[in-house]
């Protein structure tokens, strides 16, 4: 057991040096690194102050202080897709990774919509009886998105085969390039613009997915290593060991 602990500390110090010397991320590079003995003292001090009920590290759920918690306080730490030796955190409301996996299989969750909610909460009306041309359908409207600073309807346009509002279409990546405002970008005359059909919207969505995928690949290949992204959550906290 003592030998295993010693190996763990030595390995942790090697990981710390790799991070502190900028081998993983240049933003983590430190001017001075601590010695192995100072590193070990710092770990011991952190361990004495740490509370396993925080569930920040694997194995926290096995400590006695964690198993003594009642069912309402104990966070679920098992998942069908992971080994039982891995600690799975939960939210402040008590939702665990197991709940997420079960719900993700349904049709409820479609990613984080917080940014879109922020846009929707910013919807307002132009003062008085002023109105503007909707950037999506070209009809007059008094509504606008406060974040985008653009006029748009909060309802679906009339005489169209969609129930989606101009607001949703404007913020939809799959609709990018089809709005009336986008005519300037794709070099088309706005007076010739017509609301796209369902087939045109489907084709545009397919094309945008291909562009989006290619853009992500390019972004990840330029100064961004996927393996490094996986390692960040494990030892980004070791940067605090720069204190001597």
Give the model's pLDDT for residue 74.
65
Q: What does the DSSP assignment read for 195-233?
A: PPPHHHHHHHHHHHHHHHHHHHHHHHHTT--HHHHHHHH
Could you tell me how far CA 182 lies from the centroid of its own chain?
27
DSSP tally for the chain: helices H, then strands E: 9, 5
- What confidence score (pLDDT) does residue 243 get? 36
Assigned token pair, 61: 């759920």
Closest residue by Cα to residue 179 from 166, 192, 160, 191: 166
Tokens of 27: 């933003």
Domain boundaries, the chain: 114-196
- Are 221 and 213 spatial neighbours (Cβ–Cβ below 8 Å)? no
Count CB neighbours of 215 within 10 A.
10
How confident is the model at residue 37, as a pLDDT?
Answer: 92
For the whole prediction, is pTM greater than 0.85?
A: no
Q: What is the pLDDT of residue 232?
A: 33
Paired strand residues for 124: 144
**Per-block mean pLDDT, blocks of 10 residues, the chain (244 long):** 92 92 87 90 87 81 83 54 48 73 74 90 89 92 93 86 90 92 89 90 91 73 44 36 37
Condensed to tens digits (0 to 9), the pLDDT of residues 38-65 reads: 999 988 888 888 888 877 878 887 888 8
pLDDT of amino acid 244: 32
Q: How many residues does the chain have?
A: 244
């Amino acid at each position: 057991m003592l030998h295993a602990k010693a190996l763990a500390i030595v390995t942790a110090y090697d990981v710390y040096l790799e991070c502190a010397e900028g081998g993983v991320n240049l933003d983590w590079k430190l001017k001075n690194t601590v010695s192995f003995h100072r590193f070990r003292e710092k770990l011991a001090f952190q361990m004495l102050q740490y509370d396993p009920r925080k569930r920040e590290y694997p194995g926290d759920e096995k400590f006695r202080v964690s198993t003594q918690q009642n069912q309402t306080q104990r966070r679920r730490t098992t998942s069908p897709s992971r080994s039982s030796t891995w600690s799975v955190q939960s939210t402040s409301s008590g939702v665990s990774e197991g709940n997420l996996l079960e719900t993700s299989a349904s049709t409820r969750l479609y990613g984080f919509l917080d940014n879109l909610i922020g846009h929707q909460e910013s919807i307002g009306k132009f003062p008085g009886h002023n109105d503007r041309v909707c950037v999506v359908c070209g009809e007059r409207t008094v509504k606008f998105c406060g974040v985008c600073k653009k006029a748009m309807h909060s309802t679906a346009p009339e005489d169209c085969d969609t129930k989606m509002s101009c607001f949703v279409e404007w913020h939809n990546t799959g609709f990018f390039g089809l709005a009336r405002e986008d005519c300037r970008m794709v070099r088309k005359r706005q007076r010739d613009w017509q609301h796209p059909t369902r087939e045109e919207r489907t084709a545009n969505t397919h094309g945008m997915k291909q562009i989006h995928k290619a853009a992500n690949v390019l972004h990840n290949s330029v100064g961004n290593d996927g393996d490094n992204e996986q390692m960040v959550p494990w030892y980004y906290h070791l940067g605090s060991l720069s204190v001597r």
